[in-house]
Amino acid sequence: MSLGIYLFCLTPAEPLPKIAGTGIDGEHPLFVEVIGEVAAVLAEVHLEDFTGPGSQAKMEDLAWVAPRALRHEEVVLSAMEQSPVLPVRFGTVFSSIEAAAEPLRQRQDVLMKFFRDTIDKKEWTLKGYVNRPQARARMTAARLAAEKEQLAGMSPGKRYFLEQKIRGAVDKDVAAWLKEMDRDILRVAREVSAGFSECRLQSQDVAGRDEEMFFHGALLVPDGSVAALERMTDEWNTRHKSQGLQIELSGPWPPYHFAPVL
């Protein structure tokens, strides 16, 4: 089988990261290659796993992908504990060391700027969830209460149609309210972060929650600001719990959402 080079991540060459163990296949050892001012964390892999007729089936097989993706993340996290790290997406494979090194030689200035910008910073994720049925019920009750006197003086038929109109308007009320909450979370996030990247909302099945996700963002947070971010998150949840809202903070992660495109 032909061998290729799997790239996990990049770090500054000084100090050189200490990486031990094997790559994603549990067979080939990890090693570090210095390319200019940058160190690349690498391992050999079988090219047939990532190219050719059989590779697509493997990449769609969760039983094959999951342990390898986990090992990929473990290696990146190990490098992150030692220095700023530029994480590379799972499945980044080159035909040779030279093929991997060439684009990195051409982007030394971009890479070193990234390392300077992210030193002593990590990525944290904020997800906002809403109990939409609870929110709809609360807003429906408020609208009906506001129209109580008008409804009381109507015939049953007219009252029914007005009640239906009010309930139809509630969906717009909920959407506008969630946009307001979205802006409020973003304000909190930006107070203690050096960067923000909007992420795709996840379905309830993917998120594994009964509540609906309405906010999803990645923050680049200085290490010294993490305690403040955690405190602000707790305070926000305390203020909004009765409204069926919650924000969930997770991390630290490698700065995937802030890495330059190479």
One domain, residues 110 and 229: no
Three-state DSSP string of 97-111: HHHHHHHHHHCHHHH
Q: Which pLDDT band holds residue 104 (cuts at 50, 70, 90)?
A: very high
One domain, residues 181 and 248: yes
At residue 174, the pLDDT reads: 87
**Beta carbons within 10 angstroms of residue 13's beta carbon:** 18
Residue that is last in its domain, among 85, 119, 153: 119
One domain, residues 29 and 111: yes
At residue 59, the pLDDT reads: 86
Q: What is the CATH number of the domain that holds 139?
A: 3.30.70
Q: What is the mean pLDDT of residues 210-232?
A: 95
One domain, residues 168 and 245: yes
At residue 249, the pLDDT reads: 96
Residue 194 to residue 192: CA distance in whole angstroms? 7
One domain, residues 12 and 104: yes
pTM of the entire structure?
0.82
Which of 116, 125, 87, 86 lies closest to 221, judged by CA? 125
Lowest mean pLDDT across 45-59, 194-208, 212-226: 45-59
One domain, residues 18 and 94: yes
Domains contained in the chain, number = 2
Report whether pLDDT(47) > 80: yes
One domain, residues 107 and 130: no
At residue 153, the pLDDT reads: 57
Residue 145: which domain range? Answer: 122-258
One domain, residues 148 and 214: yes
One domain, residues 132 and 80: no
Report whether pLDDT(85) > 90: yes
Percent of the chain having pLDDT more than 90? 67
Q: What is the mean pLDDT of residues 238-249?
A: 93
One domain, residues 38 and 94: yes
Residue 194 to residue 120: CA distance in whole angstroms? 11
216 three-state secondary structure: strand
112 three-state secondary structure: helix
Report whether pLDDT(234) > 60: yes
At residue 164, the pLDDT reads: 65
Q: Which pLDDT band holds residue 228 (cuts at 50, 70, 90)?
A: very high
One domain, residues 154 and 137: yes
Cβ-contact 204, 212 below 8 angstroms = yes
Residue that is last in its domain, among 119, 142, 174: 119
Virtual CA dihedral for 204, 208, 213, 218, nearest 10 degrees? Answer: -130
Q: Which pLDDT band holds residue 210 (cuts at 50, 70, 90)?
A: confident
Cβ-contact 211, 127 below 8 angstroms = no
One domain, residues 104 and 139: no
Residue that is last in its domain, among 82, 99, 119: 119
In the predicted model, what is the mean pLDDT of the chain?
Answer: 89
